[in-house]
Amino acid sequence: MMKKTRIVIAAMLLLTLTASMLSGCGGGAGTTVTDTSTETSGEVVWWGWTPGSPTNEEYIAEFNKEYPNIKVTWKQTSIDDYNAAIRPALANNQGVDAFEVSAGSANGGIEVFGGSAVDLTDAVKAALGEDYKTKLNEDSITTMTVNGQLKGLGVGTVYSGNIWINQDLFDKYGLQPPTNYEEWVAVCRTFEENGLGGFVQGAGQGAFNIDTFHAIVDNVSPGTFTKAARGEVEWTDPAIVKSLEIWKKMFDDGIMQVGALGLQQYPDANNLFMSQQYAMVMMGSWYTSNTLPATMKTAIEAASSTAEPFTMIPINFPDVAGTGNVGSMFGDLDYATAVSATSANLKAATTFAVWLGTSQSGQQIIADSLNVIPSLKSATPNWDVVKLVNPEKQNDAIKAYVENAMQTKNNPRFAAINADMNQAMMDILAGVGGGTITPADGAAQLAQAKADSE
């Protein structure tokens, strides 16, 4: 009964929001950009949460080389605040022209906000031709298509499943990156003996706990996490229980820092890593942009540090289960650009969205920013142009990392997890990590949450 009540309430809220959008633009959620002529002037307010300054301003500057008379203003919120901020702004037509959306039910989820966006199918066909689907990453189309309408243009895909280390700190103390559980514990202990933190996780921000747990499950039994998310195996599977046991053990053995459950991944864990107080952090491919000097400098300053950029290297998630199953990555379309159905600058906003998601110049700067893997298949990082903080130590590692991510297939990050299951998983992982839920009970609760969410 409670589940049905939630569904009814959610449906009523969605209908209310949709009605508001329709009344504001005489067509709203069903609007299709059929006039595909390119707008060359206007003002666009672009809302989002990623990748943030200064990268977004660099995208805008590149766009303005081709469209100097379209002014784009970037309006950023935090990940956690985005839904609460964008929902009333869209409903009340408060200065939103283009806005970021994501796959599934995560922040900015297309399931939630697709009704507020126009159909961009004809605009993409005008830009890339009738065969546009062959030129773009499949996820950038499938995950953004709602009821046959393309409600957002994918900018790029992100992948997780790995650890980032401060190679300079490892070199300073003569340490090698951990490859298994025992080495991970030992490396953390050595850093602590020298007055530094080893591994840092903002375990109070549940989405990143899911990343770490997914990596553990992939090490225990590759593919089982995704199969469980899709209902192909039970969440009570022995591999899930074992993975929850390892997750709890990481807290008990000091891999997870003291107080981890009281910190957020952003800004807390990020700032602790960027200020070089900790030597390891669980982040994904979006973190690659910090290997660029200007981007890292901004991140370091945001962490209230005056240090110079350091050598950051991605490593495989350690073989915590002793199975030898390492190197697994999982990913989704990171974000797409949608155009608000109530925008007073609809054509200019469409021009920007199409440029960012389909043009060679737009997708090339996306590739070179190293923030996401571009949606346009022909756009890849120009390694003759991309200059890293420490090319000698980083170039080969980053190239191999990007290539590995691009080979990842059929292992989604969040796209297979609905909103109810997402919340349940975050709560259960926090409970297991904090010792209030046993691993076996956690698995049973995951199974019940899966059943309740269907």
- Reading phi first (left if > 0) and then psi (alpha if -120 to 50, else beta), residue 234 is in beta
pLDDT digits (tens), the chain, 454 positions: 334 334 333 333 333 333 333 333 333 445 665 555 566 889 999 999 998 888 899 999 999 999 999 999 999 998 889 999 999 999 988 899 999 999 866 689 888 899 999 999 999 999 999 999 999 988 889 989 999 999 999 999 999 999 999 999 999 999 999 999 999 999 999 999 999 999 999 999 998 999 999 999 999 999 999 999 999 999 999 999 999 999 999 999 999 999 999 999 999 999 999 999 999 999 999 999 999 999 999 999 999 999 999 999 999 999 999 999 999 999 989 999 999 999 999 999 999 999 999 999 999 999 999 989 999 999 999 998 899 999 999 999 999 999 898 888 889 998 888 888 999 999 999 999 999 999 999 999 999 999 998 8
Q: Supply the pLDDT for residue 418.
A: 84
Delimit the domains of the chain by residue range. Answer: 2-159+335-374, 162-328+403-453
> How far is the C-alpha of 358 from the C-alpha of 136, rounded, in Å?
8
Q: Supply the pLDDT for residue 5.
A: 39
Torsion of CA 138, 140, 142, 145, to 10 degrees: -150
- Could you check whether 2-159+335-374 and 162-328+403-453 share the same CATH topology? yes
Q: Supply the pLDDT for residue 28.
A: 40
Spatial neighbors of 452 by CB under 8 A, at least 6 apart, are: 3, 420, 424
Specify whether the CB–CB gap between 309 and 159 falls below 8 A. Answer: no
Residue 114, judged by CB atoms within 10 A of its CB (0-12, 13-18, 19+), counts as buried
Residue of 93, 61, 87 whose CA lies nearest to 74? 61
Spatial neighbors of 353 by CB under 8 A, at least 6 apart, are: 98, 120, 123, 152, 153, 337, 338, 339
Give the CATH architecture of domain 162-328+403-453: 3-Layer(aba) Sandwich (3.40)
Q: Supply the pLDDT for residue 415.
A: 83
| CATH domain 2-159+335-374 topology | D-Maltodextrin-Binding Protein; domain 2 (3.40.190)
Specify whether the CB–CB gap between 175 and 187 falls below 8 A. Answer: yes
Q: Residue 8 corresponds to which tokens in the numbers above?
A: 């009814």
Residue of 58, 97, 145 whose CA lies nearest to 339? 97
